[in-house]
A and B are shown apart, each in its own frame.
Chain A
Amino acid sequence: MVYTPPSNVTDATRMVSWINSTTDLWLFQGIISAVFVVSLITMLKNQSNTASKSFAASSFIAMLVSVLARTIDLIPTWFMTLWIVMVGLSAVWMYVEGTQ
């Protein structure tokens, strides 16, 4: 597969944007997924956090980052929608579990 050669890459922002477009927008989708996984594991390590609370907080962080990334056209809309849905599901999970 032949990738588009970098052109007009004069600073770090344009370089990241070029890498993202070359990887078909998967660079930032991977970064946001990694942010979710790392924050989830970090929160789960704290004994006072339940699984639903950790899931809700980490998916909320990922949702905030995804909306910011979508604003500058780094991820597709469906990926942002996915995180919004995850926040909704985590709220339902917290309700079902009766988390205070």
Chain B
Amino acid sequence: MINKKGALVLRDVMFMMIIVSGIFVLSGLFVSEMASNYENTNMSNEWAITGTNTIANSTFYDTGSDVAATGDGLSAETGIWSLISGTLNGIGDALFLVLTAPNTIGDLVGGTLQDAGVTVKISDIINYLIVTIFWAIIIFTVISGFLRGGKL
């Protein structure tokens, strides 16, 4: 949930990304099951190549594998060095996903618009607009945090 001041921070964008990609992945499962049960290969083939499906899948499973890598690092039994390096690697990967969360949401929206027939030129503009707006909000929130509530 967004904080009491209503400021959007990177954590919220990350949660949004996970929620949206999780819903798309579960919807993909539903679509694939229906297509399989009723032998409609045309439906499953068309859905499989959509940007909504492919980007959501990669986002969801990348996040899962990074968290799993962190868990493996923590449970390493080959010495303290592998424990530390494995954990740091996993956390680094997760941090990278957090930092690219606004870009991932922009890609998801852009890919979905292209699926709906919008031209690449328009979808690219909307993609970059979303990314820049997210980053602007986040950066100004961070600056406001440093200024203890003051705004630029």
Contact = CB atoms under 8 A, between A and B. Distances in A.
Interface string B125-139: 000000000000000
Contact of A77 (B38, B46, B112): B46
A84 B34 contact: no
Contact of B1 (A89, A91, A95): A95
Interface string B3-21: 0000000001001100110
Contacts of B2: 96, 98
B1 to A, nearest CB: 4
Contact of B43 (A63, A77, A98): A77
A73 B43 CA distance: 8
Nearest to B53: A81
B47 interface: yes
Interface stretch (B23-31, B66-74, B90-98, B140-148): B23-31
A62 B15 CA distance: 25
For A73, A77, A95, the residue with the greatest tally of chain B CB atoms inside 10 Å of its CB is: A77
Given A72-B38, A87-B27, A78 B116 contact: yes
A27 B42 CA distance: 21
Interface in A50-65: 63
A88 B19 contact: yes
A80 B31 contact: yes
Interface residues of B, number: 26
Which applies to chain B's interface (DSSP): helix, strand, loop or mixed? Answer: helix
Interface in A69-85: 70-73, 77-78, 80-82, 84-85
Contacts of B30: 67
B40 A63 contact: no
Contacts of B63: none
Given A71-B43, A96-B2, A84 B20 contact: no
B117 interface: yes
B50 interface: yes
A16 interface: no
A86 B117 CA distance: 17
Interface of B: 1-2, 12, 15-16, 19-20, 23-24, 27, 30-31, 34-35, 38, 40, 42-43, 46-47, 50, 52, 112, 115-117
Which 9 residue pairs are nearest across A and B when measured between Cβ atoms? A98-B1, A77-B46, A88-B20, A84-B27, A88-B23, A71-B34, A71-B38, A92-B16, A91-B19
